[in-house]
Amino acid sequence: MNNEQARNPDYPKNWNQETQASWNSNALNWDAKMGDDGNDFHRLLVRPATERLLGVKVGDRILDIGCGNGIFSRRLASLGAKVVGIDFSEQLIACAIGRTQAQDAIAYQVLDATNETALLELGENSFDAAISAMTLMDMAEIAPLFRALTKLLKPQGCFVFSVMHPCFNNPHISMVAEETESNGEIETRCSIKVEKYLQPTVTYGLALRNQPKPHIYFHRPINLLLGEAFRVGFVLDGLEEPAFPADYPNNYLLSWGGNFSEIPPVLVVRLKLLAA
């Protein structure tokens, strides 16, 4: 299916199945990109903000939703947590298992996080925290996950997730470079042009320049993304918008890096359940 078919209301769609097939096709490329320790996007932006918001304690039982090749599961285990890593891509779970040592306290499971019943089988009231790193914008549905989390988490538990920033890093932005003369010097200025934000959209995109199969992005504006969580009783109690430092080298003129140090490509959020 292409973007035109995706927009056609009469075209038959099974977003979830198609997303799963894409992630299985792209698993080896994704695994190679993330490796054991992650790329700079993960190490400099996603990981530090998530860890600050999460505040892992030794012995915490943590659910890693959409764990990919297990990059964050292994990190949490190294901080002393007991981790359950779930992903609906069998290929990525195989990569995760392959990169994990037997002594790491991690149990991986192939599980579709849009399936509320399957999620609840992980054990109600059994997790101190849950994370989801750069996954919710790849998920066809998020309401079942938020509903399940209200039961999976212990009463003081929190859910920390990161997504591509819906305002500045959504499928409808363009990166812009402009050259001007200022005081006799040539100046290059980079900015983000946002064409769409308010409507949720379903579009094909690339997480990696060389990925074999485009995958689907489910863009949700912040009011809808958090609205799903507020509806089931979560409150927002922490938020970070990490960006690359100004001295971070850009791989290309128009890539996320120091040229965009004032614009965060990632949004990281902590949710807690309202006390009953």
Ligand X SMILES: C[S@@+](CC[C@H](N)C(=O)[O-])C[C@H]1O[C@@H](n2cnc3c(N)ncnc32)[C@H](O)[C@@H]1O
- Where does this chain bind ligand X (CB under 6 A)? 19, 23, 34, 42, 66-68, 71-72, 87-89, 92, 112-114, 133-135, 138-139, 207
Nearer to ligand X, 190 or 228 (CB): 228
CA dihedral for 139, 142, 144, 145, sign (positive or negative): positive
Nearer to ligand X, 68 or 257 (CB): 68
Nearer to ligand X, 92 or 229 (CB): 92
- Whole-number minimum distance, CB 209 to ligand X, in Å? 15
Task: Report the C-alpha gap between 119 and 86 in whole angstroms.
Answer: 9
CB atoms within 10 A of CB 129: 25
Structure tokens at 264: 């965060």
- Whole-number minimum distance, CB 179 to ligand X, in Å? 34
Nearer to ligand X, 62 or 139 (CB): 139
CA dihedral for 46, 63, 37, 206, sign (positive or negative): negative
- Whole-number minimum distance, CB 200 to ligand X, in Å? 16
- Whole-number minimum distance, CB 31 to ligand X, in Å? 9
Amino acid at 118: A
Task: Report the C-alpha gap between 260 and 243 in whole angstroms.
Answer: 8
Nearer to ligand X, 30 or 259 (CB): 30
Q: What is the DSSP string of 162-214?
A: EEE-TTTSSTTEEEEEEEEEETTEEEEEEEEEE---SS-EEEEE-SSTT-SS-
- Whole-number minimum distance, CB 91 to ligand X, in Å? 9
Nearer to ligand X, 66 or 257 (CB): 66
Return contacts of 224-228, CB within 8 angstroms, 24+ apart: 224/200, 225/136, 225/142, 225/163, 225/166, 226/269, 228/142, 228/143, 228/146
Q: Are strands 153-164 and 127-133 parallel, antiparallel or unpaired?
A: parallel
- Whole-number minimum distance, CB 141 to ligand X, in Å? 8
